[in-house]
Amino acid sequence: MQSTENTNEWINWIKEAISKGYYRFYEHKYFSKVQRIGAGGFGKVYRVNWKNSEQCLALKSFFDLSNITAKEIVHELKLQRDIQFHNNIIKFYGIAQFDPENQDSQSKNYLLVMEYADSGTLKNYLKENFNNLTWDNKYNLAYQLTCAESCLHNEGIVHHDLHSDNTWSSNERSDIYSVGVPFWEISSGQQPFSTEEYDIELVLEISQGRREKPIPNTPENYIKIYTECWDGEPDNRPTINQVLERLGEIMIKTNIITENYQK
């Protein structure tokens, strides 16, 4: 009973936010050519066209409206409101309420209407483009990722699930570990330990300090950054702003960006 009451409380919050114009509400008639492109722990992601145009958007659905899911939707809505100003973070446009796989049904599930990243996840981008990437390109990828993560940290948000398939924990130093991992992926073009079975034994080894080895011909200053990010002692890890500053210094020295751009 308590769970149902909590769920209704979160749903009422969403309804009130829509009615007061805090978030724009979109009817299903605005979307066409619905295609499912992914799934996660809470729901599915769809690519859709805006009306009958060629402009693509993403719809993020949720599996059900249990107390936990409704609370997660509200949490994400609040986060999206706080971080919309940053260029390296996917834009949030509003809310819809329908079943993308059956638009004639009377579904009560909510969808988040978001910018569609046409290059896909970092994982897919690296898979398709890695052989053509220069180190200038790789530094730019790492810099954009760090800028986005810096924005989250500066807003008091810590993203514990940062990896190449996503492109919140309570401790920023712990979160820095997950910045080092995609840095290594950018240098290698693959996910860590991709040739091994990801089981409890591997997880235990990683928790005890096992790390991937640097890829040959990776710049030493880049290696130093990501290995410090995944240092076994969280207090020894740099802050996200220190990572951003060090990346910026490297990119200025190599003329990838200018000093004015960094500032």
Give the annotated binding-site residues for ATP: 60
Torsion of CA 19, 24, 25, 29, to 10 degrees: 150
Whole-number Å distance between alpha carbons of 229 and 177: 5
CA distance 32 to 11: 26
What is the CB neighbour count within 10 angstroms for residue 200? 7
The secondary structure of 196-212 as a DSSP string is S--SHHHHHHHHTT--P
Alpha-carbon gap, residue 141 to 133, rounded angstroms:
10
Which one-letter DSSP state was computed for residue 239? P
Nearest to 28 by CA among 91, 106, 90: 106
Sign of the C-alpha dihedral computed for residues 118, 179, 45 and 128 taken in this order: positive
Bridging pattern class, strands 25-26 and 92-96: parallel
Tokens of 42: 């809470």
Cα 118 → chain centroid: 14
Binding-site members are 60
Is 115 in a helix, a strand, or coil?
A: strand
